[in-house]
Structure 1
Amino acid sequence: MEKEHREQVETIEALSRTSSRHSSSTTPVPADLTPEELEIQKKLVRKLDYRLMIWAFFAYWVNGLDRNNMPNAYTNGMKEELELESSAYNWAITMFFIGYVILQIPANMIITKVRPSIMLPAVVTLWSAIVCFMALVSNHSSLYGLRILLGFSEAPFYPGMVFLLGNWYTRQELGTRTAFFVAGSQFSGAFSGLISGAIAETLDGAHGMRGWKWLFIIEGLIGVVIGVVGFFLIPDYPHNTRFIQGEERKLAVKRLERQGKKVIATGLNLNTLRNVCTTPYIYLFILIFTCMQLGMGILQQFAIILRESGYDSSFSNYMTVPVWCLAAVVIVAQGWLSDRYGERHWHIQAGALWTLIFYVLLVAVNAGDVPIPLLYVCVYMVVPVLGISPIMMTWNNEIHQCDPETRALAIAMVNSIGNLAPNFINVAAWTVTQAPAFRIGKIVTTATTGVMMILCLIVYYLEKKKILLPKAQQRIETESVNEKKEAEEV
């Protein structure tokens, strides 16, 4: 193992020295690739897209199914069987995020030391099994317990996948791929609406079980299959993956080194903590992510609004399908545009401003109790708020790209802490007894979208002025040893 690691490090050092001859010490500039390297790059990216991206899409698709199926379960009999009143339902939602936040940061530090090809499929399989067991709950306590366990098991997945994508794709590729990955969760919203509506019509009461139990069993089993497939598909890191060898591996390392990314982790140290905790970016990104999460509340509550407006359960769930399909397409388009034209900040601002216009309508018209046609228009028009998340996380990935540990910690902190506050706030802001008007929730959504735009402007200014940007870690240990030897010889 030590010999193999030394060989990997020597390869990285050689590529780094080559890179330094073509770039400045502070801002590496990618050199032109030879025609042969361009052909190799096409094959490499195609292979990654077919294996890593397709699995990532479906894994996040099932993640969305299993994490966000509570509204669908609520409208398929869970409300009556478990006597879920307003506070009990909202706390069941929040319990997930307690487990999610506790484990996420340590899990994303672990992923720099283990094989993602084992860790990520394993957590998908585990959380899917937990969802199956949720069909057995009979009271609030058991529901809360399994929701916390579901949060624990899902915690490593999203930040782990974002970190892994950043270890393979360049700046010009990462925004689109992150958006495609996140789009899987939006398609899950569409599929969840379809399956919930079908269960309400055909399986509710079958074999003595209400529809919500069938929902958990079916969606959980789908996730188990996808998790097992992942063991055979996804790669580890460029320097040690199973199915990318030879020239493709060398080019995979070279592409990232030319953009200033370290591809071999050296361990969490004080420099990592300094990069993340003593610069303003992590705190601003956490606040931006918090505002973005609060800004998508109307989409999460759409089925309940329709149900409480007098429509039946199957119709309410079916009507969410086209919204989430549109969201998936819009998210990928936003990610592609941010790669194509750069300047992540302006793409976030454009999506937020467009969304804000329709949130103002939802609050201002008829004191929030808007007519159903206007509700449909606004719900469809606010989907760009969902595309902010992958662009912002790509931006976060780029600002903290100086070493793997810094990126991993920054991604995990933003996603975990940024998810915590919104779910406690939503307990009060989106109390289900206030449906269908949800005036307080709509006001919160509108206000936080405006705040998010201001915060993004601050990050943009700080980055442009290069104020307190994270700095590269101390060079890897073998380099220090070599330099010491050279000094002694002199």
Structure 2
Amino acid sequence: MSQDSQAFISANVVTSDTTDTQQLKAVNNSTLSVWQRLVVTVWDSDHYAKTSEERVLVRKLDCTLLICLAFGYFMKNIDQGNLSNAYVSGLQVDLNITGNQYTYMGTIYNVVYCVMQVPSNLIVLKVRPSWWLAGCEIGWTIFTFAQAGAQTYQHMYVFRFFIGFFEASFQSLAFYVLGSWYTKSELAKRTSIFYIASPLGQAFASYAMAAVYTSMDRLAGLAGWRWLYIICGIMSAPVAVSVFFLVPDFPETTKAWYLTEQEKEIGRLRAARNGTVFMTGIVNFSTFKKIVSQWRFWTLLPAYLFYATGVQSYNYFGVYLRSAGYSVAMRNILPGCAFVLQIPLALLYGYIADKTGSRFLVCFVPMVLMLFPTIVLAVWPDDNTLRVTAFMLAACFFITHIFFTWVNEIAHASMEERGFLIAACQCFFYAFNAFLPAIVFRQTDGPTFRKGFPTVLGANILACIAFVTIYILHQRQLRQEAAQSHAEEARDQEQSPISGKDDDKDALEKVTILRV
């Protein structure tokens, strides 16, 4: 670190708990304009406790990292929705798909997606995330174009394999990178903005297929579903390029062209101040042995499995609507409305999580509320309105983004563990989801699914218990960390009669900064 940068940080950036409190009090006691009060209320509560230089850094991250990842996730979800949309819009007939061949396309994708979760998050400990993510998005863009030229179902098997391989990295790695740059008062809102790209992408895929099929089917001799893949490939290409130039990697390795050296130093200091430990660069058997010996591994993975399984009821809304005699239009409109509801609710969850600082409550309360629709569907009352309401509500309690915000904070003491746990949670769920629906949600059991909905209810209850368990263990961890920190401060004060003037330097020297 240069002396000029060190002097700047020491003079301008809040680094200790005492200074944080003093500056926050100064802001609270000052007279803020109406706009400033709005910013503090709606956006970051500590916005004006930051220096102007730090606010510029956060603004740059919002306009580059956050928006870039959100668009990439948007394209990923469009592609996930494209297969089912293409299937019912001509792909089945054109490729003569019969029997379980369509199901196998989805299975191939899910298996590869599951297997690649953990390796992808470990690869970026050695390879810059901007390179890996950009390469992956270029890869799935190529195979998106390739699907437009598929002539047999075997071609689609191959293409879906590579699509799953390249798309597997995106969600887990995005949560990982966001958790490395943003602080506790900022992170949940940003992950919410990133996460709403999922329902937006799914909704856009449906509307795009309808529009393309209506206006472009047989244009230049190509079927509408082939044009859909071509258009999506064209949309994905510039996003892939933007990832390479706009994702700033990790704070300790960043070479982002749009960040000044001063801003890079502030980014590293923010991470250190947030308690986020930088990477060691060491990934071996001992690393995994240490991870699996911690309570975090044995609670976070099953908690995510229970949660993700406990919100699966909405997937069978369309099956019910068809069996209940609803029109084709209503079979699309009603589930679409449920997806639309997810968007403001996801943003609200992020706002509350950052405003209160409690990730636990924003995970636990929606799961408790989720008990109502899951109980209704498990009991299956003879009331169509109640059943439709239950399906609609079942799509309103997705807290995936808040859960991974919580994981980022719980595992802050090891970058390798944090990356592994984020990916392993997803891998664990996909591994179960590859076979569980085939057992409890058999199509011959629809629409009541007498095994499926009770299973979802059981998972929902277990998720509530798991969240409480994680909260108790996390509170114990925080007490232990606080006691250790106080012990270290007392020891440092005994060794040095003069303390405090090198706080900023020590904050950065206590972590390993890799220059790549």
TM range (shorter): 0.7 to 0.9
* 8 Å contact kept, 1:121–1:231: yes
* 1:408 maps onto 2:419 in alignment: yes
Match in the other structure for 1:328: 343
Quickly say closer, same or farther: Cα 1:253–1:141, change in 2 above 3 A. Answer: same
What is the SS of the residue equivalent to 1:263? Answer: coil
Deviations 1:58-96 (CA, angstroms, capped at 9, x unpaired):
111111111233332343244555565674443332221
Match in the other structure for 1:3: none
* 8 Å contact kept, 2:112–2:164: yes
Paired letter, 2:270: R
* 1:448 maps onto 2:463 in alignment: no
Quickly say closer, same or farther: Cα 1:432–1:92, change in 2 above 3 A. Answer: farther
Quickly say closer, same or farther: Cα 1:194–1:435, change in 2 above 3 A. Answer: farther
* 8 Å contact kept, 2:278–2:511: no
Match in the other structure for 1:152: 165
* 1:101 maps onto 2:120 in alignment: no
- Cα distance in 1, alignment partners of residues 63 and 144 from structure 2: 28
Identical-residue share of aligned pairs (%): 24
- Cα distance in 2, alignment partners of residues 480 and 90 from structure 1: 48
Paired letter, 1:417: F
* 8 Å contact kept, 1:197–1:317: no
RMSD of aligned Cα (Å): 3.8
Match in the other structure for 1:260: 275
Match in the other structure for 1:365: 380
* 8 Å contact kept, 1:167–1:238: yes
* 1:463 maps onto 2:474 in alignment: yes
* 1:278 maps onto 2:289 in alignment: no
Paired letter, 1:64: N
Deviations 1:135-165 (CA, angstroms, capped at 9, x unpaired):
3444443333322221110122112111111
Quickly say closer, same or farther: Cα 1:89–1:352, change in 2 above 3 A. Answer: farther
Deviations 1:374-402 (CA, angstroms, capped at 9, x unpaired):
4442233223332x211111111111111
- Cα distance in 1, alignment partners of residues 440 and 99 from structure 2: 12
2:134 corresponds to which of 100, 105, 121 = 121
* 8 Å contact kept, 2:147–2:156: yes
Deviations 1:251-295 (CA, angstroms, capped at 9, x unpaired):
221111112212354322466324421112223222222223323
Paired letter, 1:449: N
* 1:354 maps onto 2:369 in alignment: yes
Paired letter, 1:342: G
Quickly say closer, same or farther: Cα 1:141–1:354, change in 2 above 3 A. Answer: same
- Cα distance in 2, alignment partners of residues 448 and 205 from structure 1: 46
- Cα distance in 1, alignment partners of residues 190 and 478 from structure 2: 28
Greater CA deviation, 213-222 or 80-89?
80-89
* 1:220 maps onto 2:223 in alignment: no
Quickly say closer, same or farther: Cα 1:102–1:266, change in 2 above 3 A. Answer: same
2:438 corresponds to which of 423, 427, 443 = 427
Paired letter, 1:55: C
Q: What TM-score comes out, normalization by structure 1 length? A: 0.82
Map 1:49-88 → 2, pairs under 5 A: 49-81=62-94, 87-88=100-101
Paired letter, 2:266: L
Quickly say closer, same or farther: Cα 1:138–1:197, change in 2 above 3 A. Answer: same
* 1:380 maps onto 2:401 in alignment: no
Paired letter, 1:71: S
* 8 Å contact kept, 1:194–1:321: no
Paired letter, 1:424: F
- Cα distance in 1, alignment partners of residues 139 and 323 from structure 2: 34
Greater CA deviation, 76-85 or 242-251?
76-85
* 1:172 maps onto 2:178 in alignment: no
Greater CA deviation, 373-382 or 106-115?
373-382
Greater CA deviation, 73-82 or 32-41?
32-41
Deviation of the 1:304 alpha carbon: 5.0
1:389 corresponds to which of 400, 424, 427 = 400
Paired letter, 1:295: G
- Cα distance in 1, alignment partners of residues 69 and 451 from structure 2: 36
Paired letter, 2:311: M
- Cα distance in 1, alignment partners of residues 390 and 98 from structure 2: 28
For structure 2, list consecutive stretches of 5 or more residues without a partner in the other structure.
27-47, 485-505
* 8 Å contact kept, 2:68–2:247: yes
Match in the other structure for 1:247: 262
* 8 Å contact kept, 2:108–2:157: yes
Q: What TM-score comes out, normalization by structure 2 length? A: 0.78
What is the SS of the residue equivalent to 1:465? Answer: helix
- Cα distance in 2, alignment partners of residues 221 and 213 from structure 1: 13
* 8 Å contact kept, 2:109–2:163: yes
Paired letter, 1:383: A
Match in the other structure for 2:496: none
* 8 Å contact kept, 2:279–2:416: no
For structure 1, list consecutive stretches of 5 or more residues without a partner in the other structure.
1-6, 482-490
What is the SS of the residue equivalent to 1:52? Answer: helix
2:61 corresponds to which of 38, 41, 48 = 48
What is the SS of the residue equivalent to 2:186? Answer: helix
Quickly say closer, same or farther: Cα 1:318–1:121, change in 2 above 3 A. Answer: farther
Quickly say closer, same or farther: Cα 1:29–1:407, change in 2 above 3 A. Answer: farther
Paired letter, 1:443: P
Which structure has the greater CA radius of gyration? Answer: 2
Count how many residue pairs are aligned between Structure 1 and Structure 2.
465
Deviation of the 1:308 alpha carbon: 5.6
Paired letter, 1:107: S
Match in the other structure for 1:297: 312
Deviation of the 1:439 alpha carbon: 4.5
What is the SS of the residue equivalent to 2:397? Answer: helix
Greater CA deviation, 102-111 or 235-244?
235-244
Deviation of the 1:191 alpha carbon: 1.0
Deviation of the 1:479 alpha carbon: 7.9
Greater CA deviation, 431-440 or 177-186?
431-440
- Cα distance in 1, alignment partners of residues 464 and 49 from structure 2: 44
Paired letter, 1:425: L
What is the SS of the residue equivalent to 1:323? Answer: helix
Deviations 1:167-199 (CA, angstroms, capped at 9, x unpaired):
110011111111211111111122122123334
- Cα distance in 2, alignment partners of residues 480 and 258 from structure 1: 11
* 1:316 maps onto 2:331 in alignment: yes
- Cα distance in 2, alignment partners of residues 290 and 187 from structure 1: 24
Deviation of the 1:348 alpha carbon: 0.9
